[in-house]
Chain A
Amino acid sequence: MTSYDPIVAMHHSESQVSVELQTPDMTLNLGPQHPSTHGVLRLIAKVDGERVESIEPVIGYMHRGYEKLAEVRTYPQITALVNRIDWVSGFANEIAFVTAAERLMGLEVPERAQYIRLILTEMTRISSHLLFLSSYPLELGAATPLMFALRDRERLMDLIEGVTGGRFHPNFNRLGGVKPAAGGGSTQKTRVQDLPAGFLADTRVAIEHVYEVCDEIDGLITGNEIFHERTRGIGVIPAAKALEYGVSGPNLRASGVRFDLRKVEDYLPYDRFDWQVPAGTEGDCLDRYLVRLEEIRQSAGIIGQAIDTIPSGPLQAKVPRVIKVPPGEIYVRAENPKGEMGYHIVSEGGRVPYRVKIRSASYSNISILPWLLKGVLVPDIIAIMGSLDFVLGDVDR
């Protein structure tokens, strides 16, 4: 009888196991039509069981050629284009573009117009983040926050519509100020109508509801054990990696980099208000969620202070009837809800720009996906993609 040799036995069983369990990788094609990709992002994932071996994002299904279109349109026409880039924060998209054109022209925007821009931008930020708070738990299987967040987002959409006439695509900014509301007459006259009656009071009510819904979602989701299981330590982006890939906005701040263009640049008078830049520590999905939740509260605070101190005055600087931008080159960036939104305008004089380069937040934010999704499980793909909060219009332009 031969003695039992454990090493031989181990080798034997190992070779058997490796022969038997060698499974071919399966290629899983997520999208472009898939319930969780927020649009037409396509991911080609090589999966071994449920573990992702490699992943390749395919973008471009939503490409609309805005940079090229901008070369044959006048500046006022381009604002109507750019608010379609990130369609859940249309108003915020316009800000950096008009600011860039105004700086090239040397226009001084009146205070009241700046305040109105600021209030509407922050409303857009809140509504964009509320959309995140509604869709992210839904992707993890909780359907109720969706209803709560959308209910109170609707109040903000109504307010934005009341001022600008558009829910998603306001096209409200004019070079040198904002558009006077309907019935206001020519911009050159002194008696123009601006914010609709009762706007400030309604805003106060809406802000209260925003605080309430934040607490509600806080109670429903933030402390939930299952939610923590699904998000804590998942999709960790270290600060250095985030900077390498050009990740910006709440995703960058969740990694611990306290960088907010509203504090750094001076495109709108944010420095007059008292507010904080929330930041995370771990850079995981949970931090990205918490940062956005806190940003809603901060933005609501900014709006509250702005409607208390909004100055009276004209809405428009004095602009010529035909807008021509002098030759020059400028890059202006602004803090969009999704991150850094920048426009590089090259003007050779005249009514149309020579070239507009659009730097959009989501495009840079999802460039980290192949690195981030390597080795995760299939359910985590959804958790991580949702936490990056991108919009396909903002990716493809």
Chain B
Amino acid sequence: MTVALAILDNFWVFLVIKLLAVVLVLLGFSLAIIYAELKIMAHMQARIGPYFAGGRFGWAQPFADALKFLQKEDLVPDEADSPVFRLAPAVSLMSTVAVFVIVPFSPTLIARDLDVGIFYALAVSSIGTLGVLMAGWSSANKYSLMGGLRAAAQLIAYELPMVLAVAAVVVQAGTMSMVGIVEAQGGTALFTIPGTDIGLPFVMVGQIVAFGIFMTAALAELSRIPFDMPIAESELVFGYLTEYSGIRFTMFFLAEYAGMFSMAALATTLFLGGWYLPGLDPTIFGPFVMMGKVSLLVFVMIWVRVTWPRLREDQLQSFAWKWLIPVSLANIMVTAVLKVVL
């Protein structure tokens, strides 16, 4: 026992354990989200969805899909820029995994509570688009190239409103630490229901606009409908993924769903109060509360995908530059003024 504790006490061993836990948990959640999307989409579309794999309710469908992809040949086109082509999926997947490091599940259950937590999250999540651009450019395919360029344009247009929306929250909370932001909404809350000590999440105290902007930008950054122009299977065959197969395709696929999870987790932390729910002890129920809120946002993302068509690239750009960025700038100003006045 003491030996075991001594080994755990080593910084590097503990770090490795934490990182492994992050990766495993993230992959588990991604598979769960894939299954949820299969089932929820099916039931919204008058279908049943996966039914046979695993015996009941098709629960093993994501595993079966993953196994199938692993068995496929890993093709690299002759004309492709091979090293870049091979590296791109890893870059894309790594960025979403890296975001997960600072997602707080409870006051203590967090891989690393950085002082610049949210800043770090935004920085690494935009690296994912670099992977997409690498994939598009190195594939030596015109459709892939167009998909990659669309993704790059989309990143520039949507990273800005996302950062500005987050900036308003940071101004309101007065900290960039993820734990600190949650603490500002629950626990030692900045805003409470008058007469009680029940904290209010930021979405209920003035940041509803920022929340809307953040979710819109998150959908755009994840390239999900209505912003899935980089893939747009009816126009660009499969966009930047056209030439990918086998495990590299699986990595992009996982990156998308892991990205859904990390974006929903960021939104939960920033706007919905993270692990905090009045009356529940965060050290015990925190992770469950967090997962509940994240699932809600993921459900909304799937719902949006089932309901809406896709925008056009230029319409997306004008939406971002003419509406989202001015509105989020105004939001920061209002937040800052109120912060000083109140």
Which residues from chain A sit less than 8 Å from chain B, CB to CB?
26, 28, 34-36, 50, 137-144, 146-148, 151, 220-221, 224, 226-227, 229-230, 377-382
Contacts and interface: CB of A to CB of B under 8 A. Distances in A.
A36 B234 contact: yes
A378 B313 CA distance: 10
Contacts of A137: 309
Contacts of B236: 378
Contacts of A26: 142
B74 interface: no
Contact of A140 (B41, B307, B310): B310
B310 A226 contact: yes
26 contacts: A35-B237, A50-B313, A137-B309, A138-B234, A140-B309, A140-B310, A141-B226, A141-B228, A141-B234, A141-B310, A142-B225, A142-B307, A142-B308, A143-B45, A143-B305, A143-B306, A144-B44, A144-B306, A144-B307, A148-B46, A226-B310, A226-B311, A378-B146, A378-B236, A379-B229, A379-B312
Contacts of A229: 311-312, 315
B220 to A, nearest CB: 13
B312 A230 contact: yes
Contacts of B313: 50, 377, 379
B47 interface: yes
Contacts of A28: 142
Contacts of A227: 309
Chain B interface size, as a band, is 20 to 34
B281 interface: no
Contacts of A141: 225-226, 228, 232, 234, 308-310
Interface in B217-237: 225-226, 228-229, 232-237
Given A35-B233, A142-B310, A151-B46, 18 more contacts: A36-B235, A140-B234, A140-B309, A140-B310, A141-B226, A141-B308, A142-B307, A143-B306, A144-B45, A148-B46, A226-B311, A230-B312, A230-B315, A378-B146, A378-B236, A379-B232, A379-B312, A382-B235
Contact of B309 (A34, A142, A380): A142
B307 A377 contact: no
Contacts of B197: none
3 closest Cβ pairs, A-B complex: A141-B310, A147-B45, A142-B309
Interface of B: 41, 44-47, 142, 146, 225-226, 228-229, 232-237, 305-315
A345 B57 CA distance: 58
A274 B229 CA distance: 45
Nearest to A34: B237
Contacts of B233: 35
Contacts of B309: 137, 140-142, 221, 224, 226-227, 230
Nearest to A140: B309
A175 B155 CA distance: 64
B50 to A, nearest CB: 15
A28 B235 CA distance: 11
A25 to B, nearest CB: 12
A378 B45 CA distance: 29
A241 to B, nearest CB: 24
Contacts of B306: 143-144
Nearest to A228: B309
Nearest to A148: B46
A226 B46 CA distance: 23
- Of the listed residues A137, A141, A224, A226, the one surrounded by the most CB atoms of chain B closer than 10 A to its CB is A141
Nearest to A37: B234
A255 to B, nearest CB: 23
A28 B44 CA distance: 36
Contacts of A34: 237
A144 B233 CA distance: 15
Contacts of B312: 229-230, 377, 379-380
A378 B47 CA distance: 32
B254 to A, nearest CB: 21
A380 B307 CA distance: 21
A221 to B, nearest CB: 7
A148 B44 CA distance: 10
